[in-house]
Amino acid sequence: MALSAFQTQYRDEWIAQFEQRKSLLLGTVTTEAVIKGNQAVFLVAGSGNAAATKRGITGRIQPRGNDNEQNTAILEEWNDLVTLTGFNIFASQGNQKQIMQEDTLAVINRKIDELIIAQLGTATGGVGGAGQVASVAMFQRGRVRLTNESVPWDGYISMLCQPSFLAALEQDSSRAFASADFVKHQPYAGEDMSWRDMPTVYKWRNATIIEHPGLPGQGTDSEQSYLYHKSSMGHAANVSGMENVVGYDEEQGYTYARCSMIMGSKLLQDEGVIPFTHDTLA
């Protein structure tokens, strides 16, 4: 005869896995909504650093043309689809339909950042190298490089960095970063702070510093971070935006959640992006 009849309690609310669920970068690049087509063309125009001239001996001013450069972002369809049978939903713990929908949304949001990071990785003229430790001095070399290229330090500069880069800045022996002011999350999460996994964002020297878990080379002697201006990167997507649906197939008796988006990213101005290579092992 059993002396005890133990009962197992299953918590109805689920605990989300550790994973990035929102795009951290969409607000740091130039965006474009596409009504129809598979390409979005960004026009970068300027004088080409022309210099003012004097009138010629004939009294006429020498004319010139403007520098117009067209950059094309190729749009592709990206999808995530998850399915569960009616029995699995019935027999499983938690609100499986909501879990499915939120997870597909997270997958596509991560893809947005992956596309932007891939284009940042095509930029040239980097700072640092394998075996070099991230520091305030490295950041300043990148800042000087941007300023030398006439990139305006106008509040639209972002420092997208590895967690180790931010840790190095916070511990830099110069203490130049130690007095940095924390800023609220409004630029990316909105006033209501409605989502939970937003990393700490610094505003330092009028640049927004964002640590990101999805940058190349993480945990190696060649980690990659990027300092860039908003006008140096473009991201285009279908005008209707992200499609996130949940449905039920009566014939086969399964529920599905699908998230889809047509989008593409493009490096617009190489001189506006400074890649950093640094060593987290050191």
Residue 84 falls within a domain, yes or no?
yes
Residue 111 falls within a domain, yes or no?
yes
Q: For residue 198, give the DSSP letter.
A: P
Residue 6 falls within a domain, yes or no?
no
CA dihedral 28, 232, 32, 243 (to 10 degrees): -50
Residue 1 falls within a domain, yes or no?
no
Check pLDDT > 50 for residue 185. no
Q: What integer is the mean pLDDT of 269-277?
A: 96
Per-residue pLDDT reduced to its tens digit, 32-62: 999 899 999 999 999 988 999 999 888 899 8
Q: How far apart are CA 126 and CA 146, in angstroms?
A: 11
Check pLDDT > 50 for residue 229. yes
Residue 200 falls within a domain, yes or no?
yes
Q: Name the 3-class secondary structure at 66.
A: coil
Do the Cβ atoms of 236 and 168 come closer than 8 Å?
no
CATH of the domain at 40: 3.90.1690
Q: 10 pLDDT band (50/70/90 cuts)?
A: confident
Residue 10 falls within a domain, yes or no?
no
Residue 2 falls within a domain, yes or no?
no
Cα 246 from chain centre? 26
Q: Dmax over Cα atoms in the chain, in whole Å?
A: 116
Residue 127 falls within a domain, yes or no?
yes
Q: Per the structure block, which two tokens stand in for 97?
A: 């339909």
**Whole-prediction pTM value?**
0.89
User: How many distinct structural domains can be found in the chain?
Assistant: 1
Q: How far apart are CA 35 and CA 239, in angstroms?
A: 5
**Residue 127's domain spans which residues?**
26-47+66-278
Q: How far apart are CA 259 and CA 195, in angstroms?
A: 19
